[in-house]
Amino acid sequence: MKAILSLFIIANLYATDWNWLVSLFKKEIPTIEYTVDTSGQNPRVYEFDTQGYPKMHCVVFLRPDTKTSPTMQCVKTTEEFIKMNLKIIKGK
């Protein structure tokens, strides 16, 4: 019983740090984020390259209007284009 109680106490003490611990092992995917200058709106655009096969370059378009859904389009890409996108991200 003491072992279960002490395990419960230890788990609660470290529960707040669990997200931090898990984040140390997550692989971060580079993403390009920017806003599009349009009249009367402020949409955001996210671009990223998928890590699986086939490798795809995806663009997500988010509008500030809550009545519209995000738009996403993906196209096949090559290693050359992925390296070029990484150079653009590092240049920021």
Q: Identify the CA nearest to 76 among candidates 54, 92, 45.
A: 54
Give, for 75, the enclosing helix (H) or strand (E). strand 71-76
- Indicate which CATH number applies to the domain containing 45: 2.20.130
Tell me which residue of 43, 24, 21, 22 sits closest to 33, measured CA to CA.
43
Cα 13 from Cα 21, distance rounded (Å)? 13
Domain annotation covers residue 10: no
Q: How many domains does the chain have?
A: 1
Q: Is 12 inside any structural domain?
A: no
Please give the residue range of the domain that contains residue 54.
28-90
Q: Note the pLDDT tens digit of each residue in 35-87.
A: 777 766 778 888 888 877 778 888 998 888 778 888 899 998 888 887 887 78
Question: Considering the entire predicted model, what is its pTM?
Answer: 0.54
Q: Report if residue 73 sits inside a domain.
A: yes
Q: Is residue 85 part of a domain?
A: yes
Helix (H, G, I), strand (E, B) or coil at 73: strand
Any domain includes 36: yes
